[in-house]
């Protein structure tokens, strides 16, 4: 009888260990694709390819503040949501997002108030649960360099930023970030990504001279958009021969 009771206790403890201590893991966010285009018309349309699963799209746009500011952005006909609208001294910068964008080769369309020079850029990533945090933008000033440190993320996430500059001089990513988008149509638009961590430094330096500039960032969270983390391999419950009932 004691052996039987002991076996029941061991099985119960093993089951509780399986239920409560099995680790859950998340698929890490990974870079997928980037693209950019500019136009002097009242809209910008360009092709952007999205592949993979659990995708997340970030689009940035720099335009002449008060003249041809952004009125809307779509991808494959689906509207993105404005998350940041910042800038000054002539250049308006916006950051829009869309969770689970349509896969394949589709058009990004940016609609502007009027016809004037502006530039847009897009980045897609995979392995996202469709949410983000750490959304913030810096002040606008004349600079030769700029940086922002993101502390809201964790390993497996990905930080994405959008830098808008008041002239056409290129900016170079020189922190934890890797440059993904760089282009100019009267104004310069740069975008980069960095692997998530407890502290991520998104840093840029202008190629030459200085420019009026501002940047915005967000941290894309890892996971799946189908509902939760991916469970790790279940732990086996082994009953030793000495624990079997007689």
Q: What is the 3-state secondary structure (H, E, C) of 132-146?
A: EEEEEECCCEEECEE
Which residues have C-beta within 8 Å of that of residue 77, sequence separation ≥ 6?
none
pLDDT for 39 equals: 93
- 182/244: higher pLDDT: 182
pLDDT band at 92 (very low <50, low <70, confident <90, very high): confident
pLDDT of residue 240: 35
Average pLDDT score, the chain: 84
SS3 20: helix
- pLDDT band of 226, cuts 50, 70, 90: confident
**CA–CA separation, 200 vs 211, rounded Å?**
24
Percentage of the chain modeled with pLDDT above 70: 79
Tens-digit pLDDT profile for residues 97-139: 999 999 999 999 999 988 989 999 999 999 999 999 999 998 8
Q: pTM for the whole thing? A: 0.82
């Amino acid at each position: 009888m004691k052996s039987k009771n002991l076996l029941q206790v061991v099985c119960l403890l093993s089951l509780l260990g399986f239920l409560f201590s099995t680790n859950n893991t998340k698929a890490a966010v990974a870079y997928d694709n980037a693209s950019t285009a500019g136009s002097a018309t009242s809209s910008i349309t360009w092709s952007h390819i999205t592949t993979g699963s659990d995708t997340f799209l970030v689009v940035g746009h720099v335009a002449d503040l008060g003249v041809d500011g952004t009125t809307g952005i779509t991808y494959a006909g689906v509207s993105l949501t404005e998350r940041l609208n910042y800038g000054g001294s002539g250049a308006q910068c916006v950051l829009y997002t869309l969770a689970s964008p349509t896969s394949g080769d589709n058009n990004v369309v940016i609609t502007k108030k009027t016809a004037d020079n502006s530039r847009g850029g897009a980045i897609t990533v995979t392995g996202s649960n469709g949410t983000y945090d750490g959304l913030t933008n810096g002040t606008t000033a004349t600079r030769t360099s700029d940086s922002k440190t993101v502390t809201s993320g964790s390993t497996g996430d990905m930080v994405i930023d959008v830098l808008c500059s008041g002239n056409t001089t290129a900016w170079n990513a020189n922190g934890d970030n890797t440059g993904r988008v760089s282009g100019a149509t009267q104004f310069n638009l740069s975008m980069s990504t960095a692997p998530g961590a407890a502290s991520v430094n998104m840093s840029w330096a202008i190629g030459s001279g200085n420019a009026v500039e501002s940047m915005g960032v967000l941290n894309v969270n890892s996971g799946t958009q189908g509902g939760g983390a991916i469970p790790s391999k279940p732990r086996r419950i082994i009953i030793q021969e000495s624990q079997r009932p007689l």
